[in-house]
């Protein structure tokens, strides 16, 4: 027992002794008034004071001491400890039992108070965390609005430019480029938000197939190349001659590396040098993305992979985002059984991000030539084919119809399910592009009804919806549709799929894209 604990025990049990001595002295003083009445009242007081100040152990000690003192000094003053009067013995026993019960109740009360105080502390912590989260949410909403406005502003200006009658060809091309780039930025923000929400709900799934990391790097570099060019960075890619196989999701791994490359571009001043390299270390493949940019302070490196984390000094950067990119990188890497880490010597010293993934054993590469995302629009669409576009958002329906008309399709539009059913009878479409969230009858129901009619010429039905994810895509297939595309749709990819189906060159693949 340490000295401090010993001293604390002496103090607490000292209270028992002091209060008992005090009670005895007071009782003896009061003897001329009380005589033999109420011999133990003051001892109750000593037990309760001791319990209050010293706790249960000292209170029991006070109870025992009080019993002995009462027997010795009050009931039989100046005689022995032996009590021979039965009534006195009973009175002593009752005092003892009542004292013990009082201590037990006191103990219970103290325990409850302790628990209550603990709960209060937990509640206070929770409420402070809640208000922190609330504050973070407000900050995030402000940031989100800011990040959404950033691409919206040039789109609006570009549209105003398009309204000018005297716009030249060169300017037109520039405006188109701007709109496309800013739109891609908007899509990226929305995709990141959806990805993070999927992670938080534990719904992120990855495909597991052999993937050559060299291909992943190649695609990621291509994705980041426009930004690199824009910011005059040079890129150096170091890959081995032989394939580096890992088991995983090609698209998601590309997302990891393109996020890292995009960050390297964003956080490196113009004209920087960016490197990406693969190395094999034991049973791992490591990919390093190195830049000579603004670097990251040591203390900021710890939480950098958390959602919404941004290094303050970077907020001023024109390219800063929502603080989701690295969180997504970590989540995807971990879903692949890998790890991601960061190293930087500090501000101004550049950064190095390392992704380590387990190497695949005995790989038999999958034949991935059938993947929908690699389909190209090289297939010509037979002219005169009929497409019915069903969407309650008039602008969405009309712009899509305009594009299809340009490409030689006969188009028709419906804005809700009932009208769509009528149009099916009138125009006998080859393809129906069907929004899911329609007013009244939803897209799935419309599709089920069309399939139930068992038409002589069954149209291809393609869901085009704001909702993505496996379960939604499955519902689409269950409703008898052929494909599920998530808005905003890449029209050339959609037309490539349609062309292959309509020319009969593709097997009847039912797939989901999200
Ligand atoms: P975002 O770029 O949208 O802010 P990220 O999650 O991708 O979010 O990155 C989080 C933060 O990490 C960034 O805000 C930036 O401060 C810092 N960061 C990421 N990559 C780099 C890098 N290559 N160099 C310097 N800082 C970086």
Q: Which of the listed ranges 74-78, 137-141, 150-154, 329-333 does the model predict with the highest average pLDDT? A: 329-333
pLDDT of residue 481: 95
DSSP bridge pairs for 410: 386
CB of 322 closer than 6 angstroms to any ligand 1 atom: yes
Query: Which 8-state DSSP code applies to residue 99?
Result: H
Query: Is the pLDDT reported for residue 407 higher than 90?
Result: no
User: Does ligand 1 lie within 6 Å of residue 310's CB atom?
Assistant: yes
Q: Which atom of ligand 1 is nearest to the CA of 319?
A: 2
Q: How far is the CA of 314 from the centre of ligand 1 (A)?
A: 8
Q: Which of these ranges, 11-20, 160-169, 322-331, has the smallest mean pLDDT? A: 160-169
Residue 1 has pLDDT above 80, yes or no: no
What is the SS3 assignment for 409? Answer: coil
The answer to whether the CB of 265 is under 6 A from ligand 1 is: no
C-alpha 59/C-alpha 50 separation (Å) is 5
Q: What is the rounded distance in angstroms from the CA atom of residue 50 to the CA atom of residue 67?
A: 15
The closest of 278, 201, 272 to 237, measured between CA atoms, is 278
Q: What would the two tokens of residue 460 be? A: 């291809």
**Cβ neighbourhood burial of 435 (10 Å; 0-12, 13-18, 19+):** buried
How many angstroms separate the alpha carbon of residue 188 from the centre of ligand 1? 15
Q: Which residue has the higher pLDDT, 383 or 65?
A: 65
Return the bridge partners of 274, or none.
Answer: 235, 291
The whole-number pLDDT of residue 86 equals 77
Q: Is the pTM of this model over 0.95?
A: no
Strand order in the sheet with 234-238: 234-238, 273-281, 284-291, 351-358, 339-343
Per-residue confidence at 78, pLDDT binned at 50, 70, 90?
low
Average pLDDT for 284-307 = 93
Both tokens of residue 398?
Answer: 């009309």
Grade residue 320 by pLDDT with cuts at 50, 70 and 90: low
Nearest CA to ligand 1 atom 16: 311
Query: Which range among 385-389, 398-402, 475-479 shows the weakest confidence by mean pLDDT?
Result: 398-402
Distances (CA, A) of 164 to 86, 158, 176, 180: 115, 10, 14, 19
Q: Is the pLDDT of residue 512 over 50?
A: no
Q: What is the mean pLDDT of the chain?
A: 85
Among 439, 492, 487, smallest CA distance to 463 is for 487
The predicted-structure confidence for 370-395, as pLDDT tens digits, reads as follows 333 344 444 566 667 899 999 998 88
Mean pLDDT value across residues 307-314: 70
- Is the omega angle on the peptide bond into residue 292 within 30 degrees of 0, that is, cis? no
Instruction: Assign 287 to helix, strand or coil.
Output: strand
CA of 440 to the centre of ligand 1 (A): 44
| Lowest mean pLDDT, pick from 34-43, 368-377, 405-414, 503-512 | 368-377
Provide the pLDDT for residue 366: 45
- Give the whole-number percent of the chain exceeding pLDDT 70: 90
Q: Whose CA is nearest to atom 23 of ligand 1?
A: 264
Spell out the residues 6+ positions from residue 304 whose beta carbon is closer than 8 angstroms to its own: 296, 311, 326, 342
171-218 pLDDT, tens digit each: 888 888 889 888 888 888 888 888 888 887 777 888 888 999 999 999
Tokens, residue 49: 């004071």
Neighbours of 475 (CB within 10 A): 19
Q: Whose CA is nearest to atom 3 of ligand 1?
A: 321
pLDDT class for 460, splitting at 50, 70, 90?
very high
Does the C-beta of 332 come closer than 6 Å to ligand 1?
no
Q: Is 236 exposed, middle or buried (0-12, 13-18, 19+ CB in 10 A)?
A: exposed
Q: Which residue minimizes the CA distance to atom 8 of ligand 1?
A: 323
Is any ligand 1 atom within 6 A of the Cβ of residue 267? yes
Quick one: pLDDT at residue 478? 94
For residue 309, the ligand 1 atom closest to its alpha carbon is 10
């Amino acid at each position: 027992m340490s000295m401090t604990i010993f001293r604390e025990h002496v103090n607490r049990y000292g209270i028992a002794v002091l209060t008992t001595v005090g009670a005895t002295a007071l009782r003896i003083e009061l003897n001329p008034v009380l005589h033999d009445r109420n011999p133990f009242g003051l001892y109750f007081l000593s037990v309760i004071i001791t319990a209050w100040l010293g706790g249960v152990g000292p209170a029991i000690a006070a109870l025992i001491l009080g019993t002995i003192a009462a027997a010795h000094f009050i009931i039989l003053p100046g005689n022995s400890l032996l009590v021979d009067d039965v009534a006195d013995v009973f009175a002593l026993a009752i005092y003892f039992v009542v004292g013990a019960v009082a201590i037990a109740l006191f103990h219970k009360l103290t325990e409850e108070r302790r628990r209550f105080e603990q709960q209060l502390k937990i509640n206070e912590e929770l409420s402070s965390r809640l208000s922190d989260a609330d504050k973070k949410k407000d900050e995030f909403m402000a940031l989100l609005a800011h990040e959404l406005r950033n691409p919206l502003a040039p789109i609006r200006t570009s549209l105003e430019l398009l309204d000018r009658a005297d716009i030249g060809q060169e300017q037109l091309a520039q405006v188109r480029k701007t709109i496309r780039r800013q739109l891609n930025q908007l899509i990226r923000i929305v995709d990141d938000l959806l990805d993070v929400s999927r992670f938080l709900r534990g719904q992120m799934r990855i495909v597991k197939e052999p993937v050559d990391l060299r291909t992943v790097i190649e695609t990621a570099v291509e994705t980041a190349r426009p930004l690199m060019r824009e910011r005059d960075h040079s890129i150096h890619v170091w890959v081995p001659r032989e394939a580096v196989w890992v088991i995983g999701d090609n698209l998601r791994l590309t997302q990891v590396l393109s996020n890292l490359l995009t960050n390297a571009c964003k956080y490196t001043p113009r004209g920087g040098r960016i490197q990406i390299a693969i190395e094999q270390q034991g049973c791992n493949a490591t990919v390093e993305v190195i830049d000579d940019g603004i670097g990251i302070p040591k203390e900021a490196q710890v939480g950098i992979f958390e959602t919404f984390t941004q290094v303050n000094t970077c907020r001023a950067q024109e390219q800063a985002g929502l603080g989701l990119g690295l969180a997504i990188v970590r989540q995807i890497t971990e879903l692949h059984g890998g790890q991601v880490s960061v190293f930087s010597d500090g501000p101004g010293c550049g950064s190095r991000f390392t992704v380590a993934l387990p190497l695949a054993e005995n790989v038999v590469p999958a034949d991935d030539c059938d993947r929908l995302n690699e389909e190209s629009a090289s297939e010509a669409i037979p002219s005169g084919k009929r497409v019915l576009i069903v969407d309650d958002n008039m602008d969405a329906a009309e712009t899509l119809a305009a594009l299809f008309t340009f490409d030689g399709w006969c188009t028709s539009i419906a804005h809700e399910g009932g009208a769509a059913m009528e149009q099916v009878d009138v125009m006998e479409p080859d393809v129906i592009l069907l929004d899911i969230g329609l007013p009244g009858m939803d897209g799935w129901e419309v599709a089920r009804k069309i399939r139930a009619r068992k038409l002589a010429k069954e149209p291809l039905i393609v869901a085009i919806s704001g909702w993505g994810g496996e379960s939604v895509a499955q519902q689409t297939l269950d409703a008898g549709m052929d494909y599920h595309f998530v808005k905003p749709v890449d029209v050339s990819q959609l037309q490539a799929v349609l062309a292959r189906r309509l020319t009969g060159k593709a097997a009847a693949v039912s797939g989901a894209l999200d």
